[in-house]
């Protein structure tokens, strides 16, 4: 990408500023995408941490409750040797319990670890009592012979002590992770891991990805048990990553954005240069013309030729008409193209027109050409200069250009008074109704090739050809069918309208005047 940018010479300050602006935009977008990915990964890790801790907390709690139920259901004598043996066996099998004891009158009488206590150990006031009469202590001190802080759950005459290593895995969590195991109402904290100050600052909420705050919180409660987990992650911001990561993102974004900016400059330059080439070609008269035969279907006679403009760039590569014509219209050069085409067409086909009095030329005009009085004057001059009648020239305008143009209709009438005929090109693709067409000073219509191509198929377009043929007969208009490529299409139209004129590759492709006679597949009249 960097090589591509260097290969493009930025000629102006405007180009340089544009590339720099897009490069900065690329950096911003890359950072935003980096933030999006960072947040996505953070929530995956945070949710995984929360779910694992919640599952583990439920297992620890359920293990204690199950043990309490077993101890309370024993039929053995309270704190007897047999009872102590059973307590020790239960403690051995319980992964998350440190000790198991028996309670009488709120005093611990014996435990699996310390045996019978003499005197029994008094229990302090419990921290919380939950469903079913389970009493909880967190961080109780100096309980019996336990010299460290302990967590206890008591129910009935049984009490269990949670192992200090029951949550060891979560004590060693990543530095930016923290969590609290709390009651459903969040008033009682069973366990805390890491720096939980951020958890106390605000309730859990999922922030949008574009929020650049560094702290993320998630929470989840267990079903059927008063245990919830709130997990926190800090440093969830692209700006708190290492300088190397930020530098890599910035460089990548700058290269990507700069590359796109340079490509935009290149495209704009190429587009501008094409428009300039078209303008120069028109100014220098380097517009060429070719001629496509117009054949009367009834007898296969060539009775005319449509004049088509051709233009190539400075490297000799042809520019499609649907490219250079709109550009010429935008630049105000379409009238110049018309004059070049008219002059060259009459010059190149003059001998054939004099040799065959039935041959005519069909020229395409834009709306601007028709409504400009100078066009009629110019056309008259050229026709007279070549010693021809205006009846030997047919003018084509598209149906779409005729809608709601009263000025255009008046201008067309001026041409008609001088003997020029008008044909509606691409008929059927516009929106003119029959009443409106009847008002136009036209002599014929041309069926668009898209309808011709539908002949022989079940498409609705195929039926339109028959309707247009009927319209032409009803309005006594001449009919030209474009895009005739197969004999089947020609036969179909001839059966509907014997006097129709065919145009298409079946009869000949557009060719220079020098080979027009040889380029036609039809009989030369």
Average pLDDT, the chain: 83
Q: How confident is the model at residue 345 (pLDDT cuts 50, 70, 90)?
A: very high
- Rounded CA-CA distance 461/504 in Å is 18
pLDDT digits (tens, 9 = 90+) for 153-164: 999 999 999 988
Q: How confident is the model at residue 284 (pLDDT cuts 50, 70, 90)?
A: confident
- Is 60 exceeded by the pLDDT of residue 351? yes
pLDDT digits (tens, 9 = 90+) for 52-89: 999 998 999 899 999 999 999 999 999 999 999 999 99
Q: How confident is the model at residue 184 (pLDDT cuts 50, 70, 90)?
A: confident
Give 413-452 as a DSSP string.
HHHHHTT-EEEEEEETSS---HHHHHHS--SEEEE-HHHH
Other C-beta atoms within 10 Å of 168: how many? Answer: 9
pLDDT digits (tens, 9 = 90+) for 226-238: 899 998 888 776 6
pLDDT digits (tens, 9 = 90+) for 96-140: 899 999 999 999 999 998 999 989 999 999 888 887 788 998 888
- Rounded CA-CA distance 433/130 in Å is 85
CA dihedral 513, 517, 519, 522 (to 10 degrees): 140
Q: How confident is the model at residue 300 (pLDDT cuts 50, 70, 90)?
A: very high
Longest dimension (CA), the chain: 139
- Rounded CA-CA distance 309/294 in Å is 16
- Rounded CA-CA distance 348/354 in Å is 12
Write b or e for each residue in 478-498: b if 16 or more Cβ atoms lie within 10 A of its Cβ, otherwise e.
bbbbbbbeeeebbebbbebbe
Residue showing tokens 């704190």: 79
The domains of the chain, with CATH numbers, are: 1-284 (no CATH), 285-524 (3.20.20.450)
What is the rounded end-to-end Cα distance, in angstroms, of the chain?
62
Give 107-121 as a DSSP string.
EEEEETTTEEEEEEE
- Rounded CA-CA distance 108/120 in Å is 5
Q: Are 294 and 304 in contact (CB under 8 A)?
A: yes
pTM for the model: 0.51
Q: Across residues 418-433, what is the average pLDDT? A: 79
Q: How confident is the model at residue 202 (pLDDT cuts 50, 70, 90)?
A: low
> How many angstroms from the chain centroid is the CA of residue 445?
42
For residue 110, what pLDDT is reported?
93
3-class secondary structure, 345: helix
pLDDT digits (tens, 9 = 90+) for 210-227: 566 677 888 899 988 889
- Rounded CA-CA distance 419/353 in Å is 17
12, exposed or middle or buried, with CB in 10 Å at 0-12, 13-18, 19+?
A: exposed
For the beta sheet containing 158-162, the strands, ordered from the edge strand earlier in sequence to the opposite edge, are 115-122, 107-111, 97-104, 158-162, 150-155, 134-140, 128-130
In the chain, % of residues over pLDDT 90: 40
For residue 524, what pLDDT is reported?
44
pLDDT digits (tens, 9 = 90+) for 359-400: 999 999 988 899 999 999 999 999 999 999 999 999 998 765
């Amino acid at each position: 990408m960097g090589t591509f940018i260097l290969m493009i010479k930025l000629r102006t300050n405007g180009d340089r500023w544009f590339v720099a602006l897009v490069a900065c935009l690329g950096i911003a977008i890359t950072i935003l995408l980096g933030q999006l990915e960072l947040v996505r990964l953070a929530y995956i890790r945070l949710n995984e941490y929360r779910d694992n801790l919640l599952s583990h907390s439920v297992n620890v709690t359920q293990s204690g409750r199950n043990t309490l139920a077993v101890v309370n259901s024993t039929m053995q004598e309270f704190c007897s040797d047999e009872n102590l043996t059973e307590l020790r066996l239960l403690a051995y099998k319980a992964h998350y319990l440190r000790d198991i004891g028996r309670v009488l009158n709120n005093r611990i009488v014996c435990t699996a670890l310390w045996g019978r206590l003499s005197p029994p150990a008094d229990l302090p006031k419990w921290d919380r009592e939950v469903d079913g009469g389970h009493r909880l202590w967190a961080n109780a001190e100096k309980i019996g012979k336990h010299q460290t802080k302990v967590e206890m759950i008591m129910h009935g005459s049984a009490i269990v002590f949670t192992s200090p290593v029951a949550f060891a895995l979560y004590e060693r969590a990543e530095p930016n992770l923290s969590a609290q195991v709390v009651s459903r109402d969040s008033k009682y904290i069973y366990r805390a891991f890491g720096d939980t100050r951020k958890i106390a600052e605000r309730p859990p909420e999922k922030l949008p990805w574009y929020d650049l705050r560094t702290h993320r919180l998630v929470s989840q409660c267990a079903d059927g048990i008063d245990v919830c987990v709130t997990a926190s992650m800090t440093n969830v911001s692209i700006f708190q990553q290492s300088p190397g990561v930020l530098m890599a993102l910035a460089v990548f974004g700058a290269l990507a954005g700069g590359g796109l900016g340079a490509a935009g400059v290149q495209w704009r330059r190429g587009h501008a240069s094409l428009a300039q080439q078209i303008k120069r070609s028109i100014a220098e008269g380097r517009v060429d013309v070719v001629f496509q035969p117009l054949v009367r279907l009834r007898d296969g006679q060539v009775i005319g030729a449509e004049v088509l403009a051709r233009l190539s760039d400075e490297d000799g590569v042809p520019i499609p008409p649907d490219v250079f014509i709109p550009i010429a219209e935008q630049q105000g050069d379409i009238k110049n193209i018309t004059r070049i085409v008219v002059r060259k067409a009459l010059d190149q086909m003059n001998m054939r027109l004099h040799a065959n009095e039935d041959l005519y030329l069909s020229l395409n005009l834009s709306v601007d050409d028709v409504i400009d009085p100078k066009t009629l004057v110019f056309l008259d001059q050229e026709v007279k200069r070549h010693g021809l009648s205006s009846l030997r020239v047919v003018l084509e305008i598209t149906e779409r250009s005729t809608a709601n143009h009263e000025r255009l209709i008046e201008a067309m009438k001026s041409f008609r008074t001088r003997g020029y005929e008008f044909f509606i090109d691409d008929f059927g693709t516009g929106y003119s109704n029959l009443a409106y067409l009847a008002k136009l000073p036209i002599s014929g219509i041309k069926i668009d090739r898209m309808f011709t191509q539908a002949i022989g198929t079940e498409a609705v377009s195929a039926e339109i050809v028959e309707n247009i043929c009927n319209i032409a007969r009803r309005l006594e208009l001449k009919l030209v069918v474009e895009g005739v490529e197969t004999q089947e299409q020609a036969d179909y139209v001839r059966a509907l309208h014997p006097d129709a004129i065919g145009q298409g590759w079946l009869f000949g492709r557009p060719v220079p005047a020098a080979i027009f006679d040889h380029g036609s597949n039809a009989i030369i009249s």
